Structure 1
């Protein structure tokens, strides 16, 4: 299910794709293949196009210097490329997308026992002018109370895991380690908070799971969790209180544990909202994989049978209308011979033209593979950010997000994608 891109809905075996919003339930064990079912039922789903059909690169098309092409087929070798998340150019503070402007904002920033301005700017922050408060130009997240040894990039990803710029800047591996470290710390805090909350209302077993004896205890536990910082954070994102409350109820009732962080609660709220909107009180909006696949197979077989009948009728009509006209045959033969000669002449001309383009002896051919992989702007960091839709890989992450048009072809940038080689 995970590989196929599905999320659990906390209702039996119901799952949902957050990209195309298809909802499936009543899976047949050891028979249904979630990957194939997702590809068949929703072939235009962004997840299907970008992940499940990655061999075709039909969704994320990125031109990369590491691409190799087969001389015969011209197909791309995808093994040398791994694509990250696509991040749109829409930022909360577009005036600070450019690095020089972020530098300028730090003119009055105090420098004692604080991270360097260079690291803060590279991490996407600009100075607000108040105390030591800095704000991310992309996600609008603000941080203060810095220490001299704090790493702005790591703290950015730790406190604002949803920021696309911070995630691209860190890279997949470092971002994963940061979130794992944060999750471990918050798990300890959650266990301590749960222990305090359950002293008079419930208990927890040796595995840290909550034991909820009745509905009244569940209601009190949920009410207490609505006052936690992670619930208040999600409430500020314009989610209804009833949605947040329902997510906590399902989490405690079915999984007997708390959400680890605001990210888990956020995803749970999104899943619940999409279920409500997609199902809309109609059971027919929930797909039963085995039933739907059988319907598709029956329809496909019917179409193939119809096509076979049409082809058979067309063949019979051609045979009845066939005439043995010698003049027509002779004319076709002459035309075919003339066409063959013309094609031979054109082929020879093309070969001559290609021969003229061959580098003559004594001249050094250009070695494309030896071109520098350094960012075309700062000439220091490695190229790791591709511009979409043109796909040119030309800059590092900080420099790339400072641009509004591609430095190679000047095409307007709609979004970015981090490239790992």
Structure 2
């Protein structure tokens, strides 16, 4: 017979066993540390910022993430998954789940969609507002935090959404994200990387975007149409993301107009413009002076539309004006010569 002798706990002993979640303390307290775990994340179906906002960090295996607050582990992410709902369904006891006031807008894309009618008189960018966790109520410039439910309005020209949210609602979990901001506003001397900064190469290099479509298999829309409208292929079914606004679209069907879908869903994107559509540009040349040798087809193909005044044409992409046409001027070459930094110029360079 074997006996086990349990040592009595010595009086005054001060060691306490570590709680299983204690090891996740740094990841709970440091948003930037959580975000840093997603450097090797490869599942394009889910926005890593949304995962991080919901308390998750990347475990480095497949697409497996763990909540630093409740310890719950989730994986197998698919297009259209609502992170917060999945979190709540599986780990309803989590403090992050219980704190969220507006579940639907826990997803970045859903917040961004609310800004289609954002007043142009406000200087705040819808992308920055959505990134700060805010969605638009649709009236009077009123924005609401999906997490704490706080309302922000009466925006001034120099207000920065992330900072205003932090200032007005300091106890909101989103306000406690470890994001360094401009020195003259908050006492820090580093500037956080904008969520769209990682897409800068895609914005600046047309060919790079076009190359992502090598394995595109949906015949309903052409890679060129998508690329011209700012999209690159994310490599998953027919999912594309705009490198200019971050909007994600998929499920392309016969007859879909790429630009129209872009405008309807992400009207705040600077790539969305009536004249981004070739037919619309061509139609603008109905009253083009007949004494000019430049063909409306060549002008529209170069990204130009007619303003209706003299011989002034404007680029839908860079807003640059081209006028005083000479007999031997070639529209695409003139556009490239005058506006070499325009993304359309890179296509002909």
Query: TM-score normalised to the size of structure 2?
Result: 0.29
> Which has the higher relative contact order, 1 or 2, with Cα contacts under 8 A spaced 6 or more apart?
1
Over alpha carbons, which structure has the higher Rg? Answer: 1
Query: TM-score normalised to the size of structure 1?
Result: 0.25
Larger helix share, 1 or 2: 1
